[in-house]
Chain A
């Protein structure tokens, strides 16, 4: 079984709809992240959480919200989807050892907003 899973894997929605992308992990990591990837760009950080009670905005958080329901679950919501939120979304978890952090990614959710 995959260590980091994302549901759904693909989603088509309409402008103005609210949608939720879910992420679960079995790695036992405290830290979780949401990124988006757009064509020709690297991954950009939307939100991150260092534990259940700690949630922080990343560089492109506008239009998004998150919920950390448990150590293993981190959800990303688009309150009112717009076409420029069409992208590939990745969840990640991380392991911090000796001051060095390595992030592990889920398989991604491809979102199309019409």
Chain B
């Protein structure tokens, strides 16, 4: 049973436009959510996180939105740049060590 789902395996966006990556979860006990970015031949790199007490967190071009009632979070990248092309994983936890990862979305930003 996949508790964290990224239903879009891939996404293509034009440079300068907004990229929206989505993640759904089923476990209402999750209270901490993270996004990681992964380039080929590298490990996942922490990007941004959000606690369940918030519905939005921003860091530069990256914003994460959390909709607890819908059990949905999204990552917005504005404006998208070619260097953002990577695989993005969302992860959820109950505030402890145990992360549950989604399967990833491959973002391609077209120049």
Q: State the CA gap A92–B49 with chains docked (Å).
A: 17
Q: Nearest chain B CB to A95's CB is how many angstroms away?
A: 10
Check if A40 sits within 8 Å of B103, measured CB to CB: yes
Q: Does B74 contact A (CB under 8 A)?
A: no
- B: contact size bracket: 20 to 34
Which of B's residues lie within 8 Å of A, judged by CB?
Answer: 4, 32, 34, 36, 41-46, 49, 51, 89, 91, 93, 95-104
Q: Which residue of B lies closest to A100 (CB)?
A: B32
Question: Contact size class for A?
Answer: 20 to 34
Is B43 within 8 A of A103, CB to CB? no
A103 closest partner in B (C-beta): B99
Q: Does A79 sit at the interface, judged by CB under 8 A?
A: no
Closest A residue to B43 by CB, please name it: A105
A90 touches B103 (CB 8 A): no
List residues of chain B with CB within 8 A of the CB of A31: 97
Interface residues of A (CB under 8 A from B): 4, 6, 31, 33, 40-45, 48, 50, 90, 92, 94, 99-108
**A100, B49: Cβ atoms under 8 Å?**
yes
Flag if A45 contacts B98 (CB, 8 Å).
yes
> Least Cβ distance of B55 to chain A in Å?
16
6 tightest CB-CB pairs across the interface, nearest first?
Answer: A42-B101, A105-B43, A43-B101, A105-B44, A107-B43, A106-B43
A99 with B95: in contact, given A42-B102, A42-B104 (CB under 8 Å)?
yes
Measured CB to CB, the nearest residue on chain B to A94 is B97
Complex-state Cα separation, A40 to B93, whole angstroms? 20
How far is the CB of B48 from the nearest CB of chain A, in Å?
A: 10
| Residues on the B chain within 8 Å of A106, using CB | 43
